[in-house]
Amino acid sequence: MLSLTAAVPAYPERSPLFSSAPLPAPAECASEMPPPKYTGPIDYSISATDQSCLETETNCYNRYSPYVPLAMTVPSGSVVEFKTRDLWDRPGWDKAPKPDADVNFDKAYDTLAVVHIVTGPVGIEGAMPGDKVAIEILDITPLDKGFTMADTPLGFMDNVGWMGDEFASYRAWTWWDYSDAGWTSATFPDVVVPYEPFPGSIGVLPSLETVHMKLDHHKNETTLYGGPAWAVNPDKAVPSGVCGEGGSAPETCLRTLAGGDYFGNTDTQRMGVGTTLFLECQVAGCGVGTGDVHGAQGDGEISITAIEMEASVVVKLTLIKAGSPGFSKPTPAMVGTTSIKRMSPGEFISFMGFPFKESGAVPSQYRYAMEHAQALVTSKIIPESMSLAGANALQKALVFLMDVGGYTYGEAMMLASVTVDLRVAQLVDKPAVGMEAVVDLSIFKGALYDKFKAAAGI
């Protein structure tokens, strides 16, 4: 058992601008190192994989509310293993190497209200609102295959017409197998995706004030964006006694589909092994939970899924009281070292995007403006639109993947969702801000690798 007075991480010291230390040899670069394996003790374990969450409501929840009861409470400094589902409640997927996509999408859409299953919440002894918690990611291990899906109305490229009428409708689903070498799939021969896991959803329980703020945000989102219309939904809600039909406080139960100061569904790769997440506790006990774990993801998760998997997530939970080192740090904040470097591709080709569009087309992110500015329809640029610039860059990356790899649009979408990084190029050259879609060429192997390198001009 770890000490209950475990040391709280302090601010890391700044590195000097220049160092006399020799650079590592190429084979030793951090970007080629796998995530470290945790070999220390595990003080507590909590599992949502032993039974149906909807049926037993044990060690799991899929709504964020201050009234969600704690599943267990542990001392500060404890190492806790969270065993998680993928984002669904095991609807009986077709797990064939090349599955029937329609079967799996029917199962997914039939139980969409269940998303996301989160393991927990785990309370921390003595935690009160206003305290802070350090959640250190020690290890993540797959417990089953992973999957990625892509469908016409989902994800970042949801505009019909981006790629032309021939790509107006698509659907794809693939399973991934994990080994020490990385992820492989029957859909993508000669492709190995590096194993870079992180929890897509991790956070603490929100306060009632935070819930009300999020609901106010939702009203504006619905007015200005046109959706999503799912801030509160009692269907398939867990815990049903709080959040379901006839529950004690369903109006306080936020869907897990959007994050906030409590963190939640943030889908950021920076939450990898070796990163510590700092959050402010909003309820007594704090209430830490995690789920929607990804085995790999491109920055952006553009098809709406990464490599989704059931997983064991090992974390250390440390309570930080006022006056302790690190307490004054603004939250949410993530602190890490090599965890972010490992995600940089060894070789890449990057496509620049700008906020350009075809005359007559209105991106989904701006359809609300139709009633306010007809000029948006005829304009060929939307000033300072990072989303439009990102879609412009991603369009080029998808064409590259399809032309060189021979993939369908749906397959290219899935591969891009788990490997292509959408990154900010520049914001200063207004109004034409720049985004990049970075394709990691090192995932391709053998003759396919040579083919992609030649196409990239390397």
In a domain, 2, yes or no: no
**Inside any domain, residue 28:** no
CA distance 125 to 288: 12
- Give domain status of residue 21, yes or no: no
Q: What confidence score (pLDDT) does residue 162 get?
A: 54
- 409 and 325 within one domain: no
Token pair for residue 345?
């591709």
Residue 31's pLDDT is 43
CB atoms within 10 A of CB 26: 9
Domain boundary among 297, 324, 341: 341
Domain of 407, CATH number, reads: 3.10.28.20
The domain boundary residue, chosen from 295, 310, 341: 341
Domain count along the chain: 2
Pairwise CA distance, residues 247 & 239, whole Å: 9
Verify that 327 and 440 share a domain, yes or no: no
- Tell me whether residue 7 is in a domain: no
Is the same domain home to 382 and 425?
Answer: yes
d(CA 408, CA 170): 9
- The pLDDT profile of the chain, 458 residues, written as one tens digit per residue, is 333 333 333 323 323 323 333 333 333 333 456 677 899 999 999 999 999 999 999 999 999 999 999 999 999 999 999 999 999 999 999 999 989 999 999 999 999 999 999 999 999 999 999 999 999 999 999 999 999 999 986 778 765 455 566 666 788 999 999 999 999 999 999 999 999 999 999 999 999 999 998 898 888 777 766 766 678 999 999 999 999 999 999 999 999 987 888 999 999 888 999 999 999 999 999 999 999 999 999 999 999 999 999 999 999 999 999 999 889 988 999 888 777 666 676 665 555 455 566 777 766 656 656 665 666 677 777 777 888 899 899 999 999 999 999 999 999 999 999 999 999 999 888 778 899 999 999 999 999 999 999 999 98
Residue 160: predicted pLDDT = 43
Please count the CA atoms within 13 angstroms of the CA of 338 that sit on its side-chain side: 10
Of 292, 314, 341, the position where a domain reaches its end is 341
Classify residue 31: in a domain, yes or no: no
Is the same domain home to 262 and 336?
yes
Q: What is the pLDDT of residue 8?
A: 33
In this prediction, residue 347 carries a pLDDT of 66
- Structural domain that includes position 365: 348-456
Q: How far apart are CA 250 and CA 233, in angstroms?
A: 8
pTM for the whole structure: 0.86
Does residue 441 share a domain with residue 293?
Answer: no
